[in-house]
Amino acid sequence: MAKASLIFKQINHGSKAWQEAVSLREKVLRIPLGSRFSTKELAEESEHLQIVAEQNSTICACAVLVPEGSQMKMQRVAVDENLRNKNIGSQLMQFCEGIARDKAYEMIYCHARDSAVRFYRKNNYREEGDYFDEDGIPHVKMIKSLN
């Protein structure tokens, strides 16, 4: 059987694909913490770039890019639990970085959960500053130059 192809793309806020991506990241990032994305949080995303990976017509990974001056913040990064350790997350990083670079952003950064720090380091992000609490989980800012 042919290997299922993986497609990375930008999607529209409010689209069916976006709703699927929200369900995925809610399952991965929020439900384990006992919370959901609020209506306000989701409405605010209309200003942001919505990125997904699709395999067999199903969204298996997603991220949100938030333009902030000369920097791009990457947030809400999630890969389907059944498809981890297959390099999908790293390819998603590269796709997001390519979009930011094409738009002439100089730097990309995220607030990394402590459990994801190794993953970001492998993708050449480096920690900046001290750990802080976000949603009850230790996080650290991690940055990567796009020059």
User: Binding to ligand COA (CB under 6 A): which residues in 95-114?
Assistant: 110, 112-113
118 touching ligand COA, by CB under 6 A: yes
The Cβ of residue 76 has, within 10 Å, a number of other Cβ atoms equal to 24
> What b/e sequence results for 44-67 when a residue is b if at least 16 CB atoms lie within 10 Å of its CB, and e otherwise?
ebeebbbbbbbbeeebbbbbbbbe
Q: How far is the CB of 40 from ligand COA (least distance, A)?
A: 21
Nearest partner of 134 among 83, 75, 80, 86, judged by Cα? 75
Using rule CB under 6 A, residue 28 touches ligand COA: yes
Residue of closest CB approach to ligand COA: 89
Chain centre to alpha carbon of residue 143: 14
The reply on whether position 22 binds ligand COA by CB under 6 A is no
DSSP, res 113: E
Of 3-11, 81-89, 97-105, 124-132, the segment contacting ligand COA by CB under 6 A is 81-89
Q: Does 84 bind ligand COA (CB under 6 A)?
A: yes
Count how many residues are written for the chain.
147
Q: Judged by CB under 6 A, which of 116, 127, 141, 143 binds ligand COA?
A: 116
The footprint of ligand COA (CB under 6 A) covers 28-29, 77-79, 84-90, 110, 112-113, 115-116, 118-119, 122
